[in-house]
Structure 1
Amino acid sequence: MLRMAICDDDRSDRERIHRYVTEYLEEKNTQAEVRVFDHPDKLIQECESFRPQVYILDIVMPMVTGIQAARELRWNQPDAQIIFATSESSYALESFDVNPINYIVKPVDKEKLFSTLDLALSRVQLDDKITVKVKIKGGLCTLRLDDIMYIDYRNHVVSYHMANGEVVSTPTLRIGFSEYMDENHSDQDFIRCHESISVNLGAIDKLTKTDITLRNRELIPVSKSRYTEVADRYMDFRL
């Protein structure tokens, strides 16, 4: 399902944009979970797990500007679609730093917002395109790739460690970890950081020569022999 976030410290602007978004979704017959925030700190904190595909952000807000918030959000969500809606046209040049798809000056024109949302949704990968089916005991389980922090291999069992702390495990396998990853995740953004651990590049918050800190604050090891490859892939992914 589509996920969207609106953040604006002005109540009337916030409610107007939310109303327009609701009208747009109804007109397009599109289901979405839309969350509304009145402060960028709340947005950043909650969206670490909520992870919207589309953001509509005011720029002039207390403590943290919309551009600063977008920089932090962009770090963990390089593919997110960002729309700025603001009363200050002077920030237009600076906003290009986070690659927004549009910069709308308030009062927000409904038709302009609708056309911008058309563009945003045309670029969004919805959940049916970013999921993986995992064989478990008794059947199959569908996991969102974005929610997978890392995958490990112990005693011929592959386990998927999720952002919410859940662990999803396969039955006992007859193949090794390398073969399993090649068969199931060869075209996805996973990298072996240890002999028995493959990490989701999109889940990495911090990388050192010995450890990886994931966005759910979990710490996993990096083997010395694999650090250079992990660092190179991670930089390619971010840039």
Structure 2
Amino acid sequence: MLRIAICDDDRSDRERICGFVSEYLKGKEIRAEVKVFDHPDKLIQDCETFRPQIYLLDIVMPMVTGIQAARELRWNQPDAQIIFATSESSYALESFDVNPINYILKPVAKDKLFSTLDLALTRIETDDGKSVTVKIKGGMCSLRLDDIMYIDYRNHVVSYHMADGEVVSTPTLRIGFMEYMDENHSGQDFIRCHESISVNLTAIDKLTKTDITLRSKEVVPVSKSRYAEVADRYMDYRLE
């Protein structure tokens, strides 16, 4: 499902943008979860787990500007689509260091916002389609890759731990964890941090020599023998 975050400290502007977004989604028949914020601190905190694909941000806000918030959000979500809406045209040049897809002056015009949302959707279509199909008891289950925090292996069962706390498990397997990962996740999305645990690189919030804190706030161990490889892969991901 599409996820959108709107942040503006001005109530009337916030309601105007939110109304336009609702109209756009209804007209396009798009199912989406939209969260509205009146302060950037709350936005940054909640979006560590909410992880919107589209952000609509005011620039001039108390304490933290929209550009500063966008820099913080970019660290965890390099592929997010950022749209700035502001009454101050002087920020246009500064805003482009966080690679927004548009900079809209207030009062936001509906047609301008709609065309920008069209562009945002074309850019996230491929990313939103990244999913894996997992064999479970009684059938198959499709999991969105970005929602998988980590995968572990216990008693010949592989379990997918999701951002919302759900755990999706396979039937009992006849193969080991390494073979399962090679057959089902041969790409660069996951890295083994322990003999029986692989983490999603996009889910890592903090890495130390002994453990990993995920954006779901769960903590998983890092074995001494695997730390160097995990650190290298994580830095490569961050610098891409």
Q: Normalized against structure 2, the TM-score is what?
A: 0.92
Distance 2:188 2:18 in 1: 34
Q: Would you say the 8 A contact 1:2–1:126 is kept in 2?
A: no
Matching residue of 2:3: 3
Q: 1:32-181 counterparts in 2 under 5 A? A: 32-125=32-125, 129-181=129-181
Name the CA distance, whole Å, in 2 between partners of 1:123 and 1:178.
34
Greater Cα offset, 193-202 or 120-129 = 120-129
Does the 8 Å contact 1:87/1:105 carry over to 2?
Answer: yes
Distance 1:105 1:201 in 2: 36
For residues 29 and 164 of structure 1, the distance between their equivalents in structure 2, rounded to whole angstroms, comes to 25
1:207 alignment counterpart: 207
* Shift of residue 127, structure 1, vs aligned partner: 8.1
How many residues end up aligned between the 2 structures? 239
Distance 2:154 2:25 in 1: 45
Q: In the superposition, relative to structure 1, how do residues 125 and 223 fare at CA in structure 2: closer, same or farther (>3 Å)?
A: farther
The answer on 1:217 being equivalent to 2:217 is: yes
Q: Deviations over 1:102-124 (max 9, x none)?
A: 11121222222222111100011
Superposition deviation, residue 188 in structure 1: 5.0
Matched AA of 1:78: P
TM-score by length of 1: 0.92
The amino acid across from 2:194 in the alignment is H
- 1 CA distance for matches of 2:31 and 2:168? 28
Give the conservation status (yes or no) of the 8 Å contact 1:127–1:144: no
Q: Given the alignment of the two structures, is residue 192 of structure 1 paired with residue 204 of structure 2, yes or no?
A: no
SS of the aligned residue for 1:52 comes to coil
- Which whole-Å deviations, capped at 9, do the CAs of 1:141-176 have from their partners, x for residues lacking one? 332222211111122111112223332221111111
The 2-side partners of 1:219 and 1:27 are apart by 42
Question: Is 1:18 paired with 2:18?
Answer: yes
Deviation at 1:24, TM superposition (A): 2.1
Report how far residue 68 of structure 1 moved.
1.8
Find the aligned partners of 1:127 and 1:112 in 2 and give their Cα distance: 24
Deviation of the 1:94 alpha carbon = 2.2
Output the amino acid matched with 1:15.
Answer: E
Aligned sequence identity (%) = 84
Q: Which runs of 5+ in 1 are unaligned?
A: none
Aligned residue in 1 for 2:182: 182
Aligned partner letter, 1:169: S
The one-letter amino acid of 2:67's match is: I
Residue aligned with 1:225, SS: coil
Letter in 2 for 1:104: I
